[in-house]
Amino acid sequence: MSSTAVAQPLNTTETTLKNGAILLHTHQKTAPRIAISFFVRGGNLMEPKAGLSDLIDQLLLKGTEKRSQEQISIELDGLTLELDTEARRDYAVLHAKLLEEDLETSFELISDIFYNTTYADMEREKQKLVGEIAMSLDSPKSRASDQFYRKVFENTPYGRVDSVVLESLEHMNSVSELKQYAQAVFAPKNLVVSCVGNIDQKQVIALVEKYFSKQGSGALKPDAELEKRLKELAFKADEKITFPRDDSSQAHIFRGWLVPHSRHEDYAAISMLNTILGAAGLSSRLFLELRDKQGLAYNVRSNYESFRYRGLFSLYIGTEPKNIEKCLKGFQDEIDKLINIPVSEKELSDAKRNLLGRRSIMLETAGRQAAFIGTSYLQGRSLAEIAAIPSQIQAVTTADVQRIAKTYLTGPSVVSIVAASQYLK
């Protein structure tokens, strides 16, 4: 096999600091700004109540003991410090991009935000979050996606999608509950800092140790019972969930199966199956068959998402509503082909180059590198394991892809459809 795959070596080092925080440092000379992603474990997974981490995220830049919301906003914009906070299933993260001259000021500000946020405006921010979620669910595709994840991960923390958060927010009214989770989440021992840029490691270590020195509990980790529940989660039977939107022009269809997470031995093979079936771009099988040949859709694709303890493999198509059955059959036909006929050596090696090439394009900027390294680490991979992904991809065989299809795509699945009601009968 030719070795054209670009395995962009990221010279990342891992250090456990005196305060217990972990620093993932990558020296990168050409980046115009320094990208630092502050990851904290927990996310939806560990929150005692659905939506708690989303609400903390919503309140994070809204005032500390010494800075008002407006002061924080003016300081951030003045520093051109881009802060982007998000609450996810396994973690929450604050992505910062900053100039070297602003490093110290920025660390002081972020530390203040982590440790001294008052959460005083809870009621107001709760209402704003409700409004933002309502706005998002006004898109039929978002609605289809929301009910899809909700069903797939039903009754687990991974299923805490917008509509679940919306319902939970009604019963959330204790600031102390919020503060308690925030305290656990932002403890230095729970912090993973991923830094990429033209900056010395020692300098970052000093800053993280100086500004994240608060005492607190250790790294958050789910108990054995929750971990087991997520790993063993399974659908009992095929399920179909629908939602009528009478003014929707298209039918938005998701279908998905539970699959292993990213540290599982099948990760690379599932990634290859995903690339071949529907994630390569314009040349994947679903695209060629359902879009190019049958003209059923503009947007059709597959997706493999891996969380810390579980993964989801899914297909999406936006189609003319009278073609719902045709599309579901089209999905099944493509799955059957993967199960019954091994992919060719050529198709597999093309898919390998596709995945690894797109990865090197994705990692072109410091910001995306910092996010990628941190996310992979939070999914439970060591740096050595992150570096080994390309060789794991290279090792996948055509038999592996077929085995993966048989193992994971023959059992029950969940289908979610949003369309005008007349098509949902």
Q: Please, which of residues 202-241 interact with another protein by CB under 8 A?
A: 241
Chosen residue from 174, 299, 340, 344 binding another protein by CB under 8 A = 299
Report whether 153 contacts 253 (CB < 8 A).
no
The count of C-alpha atoms lying within 13 angstroms of the C-alpha of 412, restricted to the half-sphere facing its C-beta, is 11
Q: Is 411 in the site for another protein (CB under 8 A)?
A: no
CB nearer to another protein: give 36 or 50: 50
The pair of three-digit structure tokens given for residue 45, joined into one six-digit string: 């997974």
Binding to another protein, residues 123-162 (CB under 8 A):
124, 127-128, 131-132, 134-135, 137-141, 147, 150-151, 154-156, 159-160
CB nearer to another protein: give 140 or 222: 140
Q: Is 407 in the site for another protein (CB under 8 A)?
A: no
Phi, psi of 4 (to 5 degrees): -80, -15
Point out which span in 106-114, 163-171, 192-200, 303-311 binds another protein (CB under 8 A). Answer: 163-171
x-marked contacts with another protein along 36-75 as a string, rule CB under 8 A: --------------x----------xx------xx-xxx-
Cβ neighbors of 3 (< 8 A, separation 6 or more) are none
Q: Is 301 in the site for another protein (CB under 8 A)?
A: no
- Least Å distance between CB 374 and another protein? 19
Of the candidates 254, 277, 281, 402, which has an alpha carbon nearest to the alpha carbon of residue 333? 277
Q: Is 243 in the site for another protein (CB under 8 A)?
A: yes
Cβ neighbors of 390 (< 8 A, separation 6 or more) are 5, 7, 356, 359
Chosen residue from 1, 232, 298, 422 binding another protein by CB under 8 A = 298
- Least Å distance between CB 205 and another protein? 26
What SS3 class is residue 47?
coil
Chosen residue from 92, 110, 327, 356 binding another protein by CB under 8 A = 356
The pair of three-digit structure tokens given for residue 242, joined into one six-digit string: 């629908």
CB nearer to another protein: give 302 or 354: 354
Binding to another protein, residues 96-115 (CB under 8 A):
99
- Least Å distance between CB 5 and another protein? 7
Distance CA 280, CA 353 (A): 10
Report whether 178 contacts 203 (CB < 8 A).
no
Cα-atom radius of gyration of the chain, to the nearest Å? Answer: 23
Q: How far is CA 203 from the centre of its chain?
A: 30
CB nearer to another protein: give 365 or 407: 365
Of the candidates 92, 45, 375, 28, which has an alpha carbon nearest to the alpha carbon of residue 225? 45
Beta bridge partners of residue 305, listed in sequence order: 312
DSSP 49: S
- Least Å distance between CB 130 and another protein? 9
x-marked contacts with another protein along 254-293 as a string, rule CB under 8 A: --------------------------xxxx----x--xxx
Distance CA 313, CA 277 (A): 11
Distance CA 49, CA 52 (A): 6
The pair of three-digit structure tokens given for residue 39, joined into one six-digit string: 């990851």
Of the candidates 225, 219, 241, which has an alpha carbon nearest to the alpha carbon of residue 156? 225
- Least Å distance between CB 159 and another protein? 6
Q: Is 95 in the site for another protein (CB under 8 A)?
A: no
Point out which span in 189-197, 198-206, 229-237, 362-370 binds another protein (CB under 8 A). Answer: 362-370
Binding residues with another protein: total (CB under 8 A): 89
x-marked contacts with another protein along 185-204 as a string, rule CB under 8 A: --------------------
